[in-house]
Chain A
Amino acid sequence: MKIFPENASSYGGEVDFIFWLITGVVAVASVIVIFLLLYPVLTRRRKLTKTQRYQKGEGFRNLRLIYLGILLLAIADFFFLYKEGPTWTKIEETLPDKEFHVAIIGRQWLWEIVYPGPDGKLYTADDVKKINQFYMPVNSVVHMDIQSYDVIHSVFIPNARFKQDALPGRNITRWVKMTKTGTFPLSCAEICGIGHANMKATIIVQNKEDFKKTLTKLYKK
């Protein structure tokens, strides 16, 4: 049984790794918590002895095991942060040199994908627009200018482990590099009205030659 949809981006594996790392540590912690809960529950039912029960838990000595628990969790916490920091920087804070550039603009209730025209530049008169069809070349860094015309939408590409809200009045540039060819879903992850459930696009990742052909076809129309 697979948990995640197939990963098809250069950084998706790192996102999955963070999930499994935290899940692994949490699983160990859960076993400890379950033991700590079950042990008294199973063994201390109406023990009418009076041994050692008047403990108020004051002072460092009495609380030392709890402090130890907090310390262990703190170490785990900072380990997670240490591990995820570089991935966050990579996905969100840096923009590797682009090999292709599109604008992806949300509107109720479709995605407009704007491709640069024959001049290779975005936001010029020869740009071409496609509705809900997002072509990209494989193994290339694609910059996405994420925008919205009306309300907040959110670009969600499960196979790339990528998500970014699209806000009216802002241009947010993020990147993705797909490592597999094929078609992948792109959904809208932020409620945007009655048609929110219908808002989806298809990502078509092609090898570089096919992609060139697709572009020429787009320009002809």
Chain B
Amino acid sequence: MNTHKKHGFWHRYFFSLDHKDIGFQYMLTIFFMVSIGGFFAYVFRMHLAFPDMKVPLFGLVTNKDYNMLITNHGLIMMMWLALGMLLAVAGNFLIPIMIGTDDMAFPKLNKISYWIFLLSVILMIASFFMPKGGLGVGWTLYPPLSVGDFGYNTPYKSFADRFFTANTFVLLAIAFEFTSLLMGGINFFVTTLNKRAKGMSLLKMPMVVWMINIANLLFMFSVGPLVAGTFMLLLDINVGTGFYDAYRGGDPLLWEHLFWFFGHPEVYVILLPPLGILAEIISVNSRKPLFGYKFILTLTLIAAVLSTMVWAHHQFVAGIDPRAATVFSIFTIIISLPFAGIILAYIATLWKGDLRFTLPMKWALGAVALFTLLGGFTGLHLGASVFDIYAHDTSFVVAHFHYTLFPTVIFGSFAAIYFWFSKFSGRKLNQTLGNLHFWLTFIFFNGFAFPLFLLGLAGQHRRIADYRQFEFLMQDPLPLYRKIATISAVILILSQFIFLFNFIWSLKRGKKETEDNPWQANTLEWQTSSPPPHGNFKVYPVVNYGPYEYNRPDKDKDFTPQNEI
């Protein structure tokens, strides 16, 4: 067992092998990325509501700027925030300590994963500054548009001409990021399989550890085709091959298949870790065992398998055989069933519980409500291929996926941060600021996303810089909806500064966490000091109980730590 030594700045942020430090490095990097993604959202949202305005801190937004802003907003949020936060950060912080071990199985590999992640971030940022400007083709990168400024019609001048483009850099950034996540994922697997504390059978693992690993499995399964697809796209751009060029035997639809074969499972890769986080928080704050542990696990595995068979619901009207669309429609609608089961199991955990409305619990309940009521249910609308003919590529879809992604990625991450902050930092976040942050985010997220449903139903297509050219989209009350969405989005984004301040201030000056187990939780991370020592535990725990043994009839106190004798 390691003794805790004080290390300097460079050590902690660049060379540390400790999983908690590496998790922290990932987290800071992602905070940086998400502030860019959020800033872009602010700029283009302002432009939509007030098209003639010079957006403060940016200036006048041209069509070219607009395309660039939404594309990079989408890419950053999906690839770097969502995947990074929920696989890399959550996996790093939680897996080793929750399974009762000192570190990852391969700490050096872990460190290299982070460095490659950092490289991908650098490439991504560099792409904004290429001679022809940032990428503006939509985050789905559909060729032929993504092959160059004008698809295949631009004459091929020189290699440098093609290489130093945002197209190349973004694709390289994605490729490196996936490499990093794959290396991280392998590490998580081996760690989970080989390093669990004595007595921790697979079915005694906390749900979040399961979920991160299942998400990783799904990621590994689905990412291969996209990496191949990315490579072909890179060749099309840089060498002049024609894999996606219809006039030279290629097919642009091929990219759509490869992209969504990854892209749809990706949304479940993103969804599962927060579902795991919610399971922990809901169970602890209901003082009840998680209802249907094995049931949830089974449903998750079923959903993971199903999620690989629904990708073409993004392509109902993309030119695929309409008979195939029927099959994908059926699978898409069926995938609602396992998730309904999981959500109902969470709700059952609340029933007859003894609820504590702590901050993490608020985020968790908010996430469950919004995800189910407005994210999940509108998925049924879109899964019905007939309605998707109309709704595809309108703001209805934008509203739908923000209602699935925001509650899981953002609410889920905040739930986790408010839950585990004091464990890993040894200091408490300010509760008043936390409450303010929660309510502002909750209200103004709805204020921003809900009008988009109505705009979409009115026929507003997405990725449009200026709706004034479409008379039918300028009729009352649509401009008003756009303004409501924008003003809410601005307040939503500003509210995050409350969090940022709280986070930084509490890290340095927050009240000291005096207890090891302030929530009276069962899982192993709460059975060591806050913050944990370098090797996580002074004495390695031996597990005797499952993770959710709250209110066991044979115990006096209402919780039973996993390592209790």
Contacts and interface: CB of A to CB of B under 8 A. Distances in A.
Interface of A: 1, 3-5, 14-15, 18-19, 22-23, 26, 29-30, 33-34, 36-37, 39-41, 44-58, 62-63, 65-66, 69-70, 73-74, 77, 80-81, 84-85, 87-88, 91-93, 108, 150-152, 154, 156, 158-159, 161-165, 167-170, 172, 185, 187-198, 200
A74 B340 CA distance: 10
A56 B458 contact: no
Interface in B389-425: 389-390, 392-394
A204 to B, nearest CB: 15
A190 B394 CA distance: 10
Given A15-B389, A30-B373, A51-B352, A41 B336 contact: no
Interface string B126-155: 000000000011100010110001110100
Contacts of B390: 15, 19, 158, 161-163
Contact of A194 (B64, B286, B290, B393): B64
Interface stretch (B80-88, B190-198, B215-223, B378-386): B378-386
B551 interface: yes
9 contacts: A53-B550, A54-B289, A54-B553, A57-B289, A69-B344, A80-B380, A88-B385, A167-B319, A194-B64
Ranked 4 nearest A-B pairs via Cβ: A169-B246, A158-B459, A57-B292, A92-B322
Nearest to B250: A169
Given A44-B352, A53-B352, A154 B334 contact: no
B340 A4 contact: no
Given A3-B457, A56-B289, A81-B333, A191 B463 contact: yes
Instruction: Indicate the member of B319, B323, B471 with the most A CB atoms within 10 Å.
Output: B319
B377 A66 contact: no
Interface string B291-315: 1111100000000000000000000
B454 A3 contact: yes
B291 A55 contact: yes
B162 interface: no
A200 B353 contact: no
B472 A151 contact: no
Contact of A48 (B247, B347, B354, B377): B354
Contacts of A170: 246, 319
Given A4-B457, A168-B246, A168-B252, A41 B292 contact: no
A15 B384 CA distance: 10
Given A55-B291, A163-B317, A198 B469 contact: yes
A177 to B, nearest CB: 15
Interface of B: 63-64, 66-67, 136-138, 142, 144-145, 149-151, 153, 246-247, 251-253, 286-295, 317-319, 322-323, 325-326, 329-330, 333-334, 336-337, 340-341, 343-345, 347-348, 350-357, 365, 368-369, 372-373, 377-378, 380-381, 384-387, 389-390, 392-394, 454, 457-459, 461-466, 469-472, 477, 548, 550-553, 558
B322 A50 contact: no
Contacts of A168: 144, 151, 246-247, 252
Contacts of A36: 344, 347, 351
A88 B317 contact: no
A70 B142 CA distance: 37
A3 B466 CA distance: 21
A123 B543 CA distance: 76
Contact of B472 (A18, A26, A108, A185): A185
A88 B386 contact: yes
Contacts of B290: 57
Contacts of B295: 57-58, 63, 66
Contacts of B470: 185, 187, 200
Contacts of A22: 380-381, 384, 387
Given A70-B340, A84-B385, A167-B253, A33 B288 contact: no
Contact of B326 (A88, A152, A196): A88
Contacts of A81: 329-330, 333, 384
Contact of A57 (B66, B138, B293): B293
Given A30-B377, A44-B350, A165-B319, A69 B341 contact: yes
A50 B551 contact: yes
Contact of A150 (B142, B150, B350, B385): B150
B469 A41 contact: no
Contacts of B289: 54-57
B294 A52 contact: no
Contacts of B369: 33-34, 37
A175 to B, nearest CB: 12
A88 B321 CA distance: 12
Given A80-B380, A189-B392, A200-B469, A47 B329 contact: no
Contacts of B136: 193-194
A197 B66 contact: yes
A25 B292 CA distance: 27
Contacts of A18: 384, 386-387
Contact of A151 (B151, B294, B354, B471): B151
B43 to A, nearest CB: 16
